[in-house]
Amino acid sequence: MNATGLVSPHGGRLVNRTGAKREAKEPAIAITLTQHQQCDLEMIAIGAMSPLEGFLGEADYHGVCERMTLANGTVWPIPITLAVRDDLAGRVKVGDRTSLLDDKGRLLGYLTVRERYKQDKRKQAIGVFKTEDMAHPGVKVVMEDGDTCLAGPIDVVTPRHDPMFPAHRLAPAQTRAAFEKHGWKTVVAFQTRNPIHRAHEYITKCAQEICDGLLIHPLMGATKDGDISPEVRMKCYEMLIANYYHPEHTMLAIMPAAMRYAGPREAIMHAIYRQNYGCSHLIVGRDHAGVGNYYGTYDAQQIFETLPPEGLEIQTLNFENTAWSKKAGGMVSEKSFPLMEGDRVSLSGTKVREMLSRGERPPAEFTRPEVADILIEAMRQGG
């Protein structure tokens, strides 16, 4: 814990790689970043990935894949790399300064190349995702990346051109300042990439009883095909917070990270992000950051038990699967109310999408009607 009463940044210091000036003479080599790499650049630059100051070197890369730590022993679960194609890598030497561009050719910043090394894609896939299956969206991104990693510190001129939701796009230093202004010492973060339904609302409000404040912190970086658009999700969050949460104890900000769908390891990554943003707690529920059937229901909770005591300062709030019970007349979990056949109002994502596509609201016990209306309208408009 630091002098403000909030948790300390991971590694003890909040990194800031923003504020660089455009160089008078641009480097000879420019690298166009993928969507995932652009997200990583922004997250490093604003301090959300503290203590990283740039893309991982080889020793850190292998430490993360093998032991879930950087070379110096700091807990770190997922490699953050700048992998490029061999034709480009062949032109880059250690010591070079390169420009980093977005997908429209606009300057984001610069990389000072300290290392070049080969990416071990199979090792990374098995270590991080527990699978080499190309149907896994995280594995697919890694396998389609280049084979050579360029490592070194970054200096960022503009973390993101034309950023979405600028009023809610707060860097860790800004969320920490906001928490101090509110007088919050303990803050619980809720990670989501979907609209919030009644079960999510229930666990966030349980968490609010424990902590001073709730940060609803949706991931708004690169996600997989089929996920609901950021614009639609933001409408749902704003509506829900305005009507169903206490304004003095609830805050909405977005996190511009890329989703990797790495299940347990990504849960640790999400915890590190939120510790850097100033949160003392993170909600970890059923199948956190999972996809398909690659991970066990509560693997993402159990992995935190394997970390050394000094691994993270942030704590997890673990929740069982929750749903509306007709018998109890409210939200329950498998821990708080016995299972009874036909008692729970629980719908699959496919079933919900089918209902929305027909203009039907799912039961009010599953989702707030206002959220359903936003989703129905979005489907009508093809969004």
Position 282 in a domain: yes
Position 161 in a domain: no
Per-residue pLDDT reduced to its tens digit, 235-286: 999 999 999 999 999 999 999 999 999 999 999 999 999 999 999 999 999 8
Position 21 in a domain: no
Of the candidates 137, 156, 175, which is a domain's last residue? 156
**130, 270: one domain:** no
Q: What is the C-alpha to C-alpha distance for residues 334 and 286, in angstroms, rounded to an integer?
A: 12
Contacts (Cβ under 8 Å, ≥6 apart) of 303: 264, 265, 267, 268
The domain containing residue 251 runs over which residues? 166-380
**238, 342: one domain:** yes
Q: What's the pLDDT at 222?
A: 65
**224, 137: one domain:** no
Q: What is the DSSP code (8-state) at residue 283?
A: E
Among this protein's residues, is 17 annotated catalytic?
A: no
Of the candidates 156, 177, 196, which is a domain's last residue? 156
Average pLDDT over residues 312-325: 95
**134, 182: one domain:** no
CA angle, 7 then 286 then 68, to 5°:
55
pLDDT-derived band at 309, boundaries 50, 70, 90: confident
Position 3 in a domain: no
**296, 180: one domain:** yes
Of the candidates 156, 186, 211, which is a domain's last residue? 156
Residues for the chain: how many in total? 383
pLDDT-derived band at 3, boundaries 50, 70, 90: low
**Which parts of 113-212 are beta strand (E)?**
115-118, 148-156, 187-192
Please pick, among 2, 16, 194, 318, the residue that the annotation labels catalytic.
Answer: 194
- 383 pLDDT exceeds 60? no
Contacts (Cβ under 8 Å, ≥6 apart) of 296: 302
**229, 143: one domain:** no
Position 87 in a domain: yes
Per-residue pLDDT reduced to its tens digit, 119-137: 999 999 999 999 999 999 9
Average pLDDT over residues 216-234: 84
Residue 305 is part of a domain; what is its CATH number?
3.40.50.620
Q: How many CB atoms lie under 10 A from the CB of residue 30? A: 14
- 26 pLDDT exceeds 90? yes
**312, 171: one domain:** yes
Position 19 in a domain: no
Average pLDDT over residues 198-222: 94
Contact 219, 255 (CB under 8 A): yes
Position 330 in a domain: yes
**90, 171: one domain:** no
**86, 106: one domain:** yes
Contact 281, 208 (CB under 8 A): no
Position 132 in a domain: yes
Residue 67 is part of a domain; what is its CATH number?
3.10.400.10
Contact 136, 146 (CB under 8 A): no
Average pLDDT over residues 354-381: 92
**241, 359: one domain:** yes
Q: What is the C-alpha to C-alpha distance for residues 58 and 60, in angstroms, rounded to an integer?
A: 5
Q: What's the pLDDT at 353?
A: 81
Among this protein's residues, is 193 annotated catalytic?
A: yes
Pairing of strands 148-156, 107-112: antiparallel
Q: Report residue 363 as tokens.
A: 């039961």
In whole angstroms, how far apart are CA 151 and each of 5, 62, 209, 298? 35, 13, 44, 34
In whole angstroms, how far apart are CA 92 and each of 54, 307, 362? 17, 37, 55
- 225 pLDDT exceeds 80? no
Please pick, among 193, 198, 274, 344, the residue that the annotation labels catalytic.
Answer: 193
**170, 137: one domain:** no
Q: Look at the block and give the residue holding tokens 């920490």.
A: 176
Average pLDDT over residues 221-236: 82
pLDDT-derived band at 226, boundaries 50, 70, 90: low
Q: What percent of the chain has pLDDT over 70?
A: 97
Q: Report residue 249 as tokens.
A: 């104890």
Q: What percent of the chain has pLDDT over 90?
A: 90
Q: What's the pLDDT at 380?
A: 86
Count how many domains the chain has.
Answer: 2
**180, 308: one domain:** yes
Q: What's the pLDDT at 106?
A: 98
Q: What's the pLDDT at 223?
A: 67
